[in-house]
Amino acid sequence: MSVTTVPIPPIEKGSLTKLWAGVAVAVLVAGGAAWWGTEKAVSGACSAAAFAPEGKGASAVERTASGLRFQAVHAGTGPMPTETDVVLVSYKGTLSTGKEFDSNPRAAFPVQGLVPGFSEALKKMQRGGSYKLCIPPALGYGTQANERIPANSTLLFDVELIDFKSMAEVQALQQQQQMQQQGAPGELPPGIIPGQ
C-alpha cells in the first residue's frame, strides 16, 4: 500500500501577518464596544435629569478623574472633611431606576471605610451644604450584590453635610459622655446620702 501525499499550496508571503493583524483589530473593536457600552450605561444613569439645573446656587456637575459625578446644589461653608474625620450627614440613595435603597436623616460614620465614591465626595463637601452624587459601579459596590443593590449598579445620592469632627474629637466626646454616665470622680451617686 502506498501513501499518496497531497501537496499543500504555499501560503503567500505576509498572509500570516495579515491574519494576526485582523485578530488584533477584532479584539480592539470588541474592547472598544464594551467600553462604549459601559460608558453609555453609566452616562445614562448620570444624565442631566439626575442633577439640579445649574444656577440658583447649584454648581455645574463636576466629573472627577475617578469617574465620580458631583454637584453642589447649595454650597456649604468652611473647611472640608479629611480621610480621618467622622461626618454627620443626611442622605438618600437611589438606583438609576429611581428605586430608593437607603436613607437616613442623621447618620454618623467615618469618611474612610465607605465605598470609594462616597468617601471621595465627602472630602469635597462643606458644612451646611447639600450635594448630588452619581457613583459609577467601580466606585460603588461593583460586582457585589445584596438584597437592595444589584451588581454593577450606578448609585445616586442626595447628601447634606450637617457637621464633621476629627476622630480624636469624637473619642474625647465619647469619654466625656461615659464619665458623665458613671458620675464625676469624688461624687456619690444620688440616693447614697439620706435626703438626696
**How many Å apart are CA 109 and CA 94, to the nearest integer?**
19
Give the residue-averaged pLDDT of 86-108: 95
Residue bearing the bigger pLDDT, 194 or 88:
88
169-193 pLDDT tens trace:
888 888 888 888 876 555 545 544 4
**What are the backbone angles phi and psi of residue 74, rounded to the nearest 5°?**
-140, 115
Q: What CA–CA distance (Å, rounded) separates 50 from 38?
A: 18
What DSSP character marks residue 12?
A: P
- Using the predicted structure, report yes or no on whether residue 134 has a pLDDT greater than 60: yes
Q: What is the mean pLDDT of residues 138-160?
A: 95
CB contact set of 29 (below 8 Å; sequence gap of 6+): none
Pairwise CA distance, residues 80 & 170, whole Å: 17
- Length reported for the chain: 196
In this prediction, what percent of the chain has a pLDDT beyond 90? Answer: 55
Instruction: Measure the CA–CA gap between 85 and 189, rounded to whole angstroms.
Output: 35
- Pull the grid cell for residue 32: 472598544
C-alpha cell at position 133 = 452624587
pLDDT at position 82 is 96
Q: Which domains does the chain show, CATH number per domain?
A: 60-173 (3.10.50.40)
Q: Determine if the pTM surpasses 0.85.
A: no
Q: Is the pLDDT confidence value at 34 over 60?
A: no
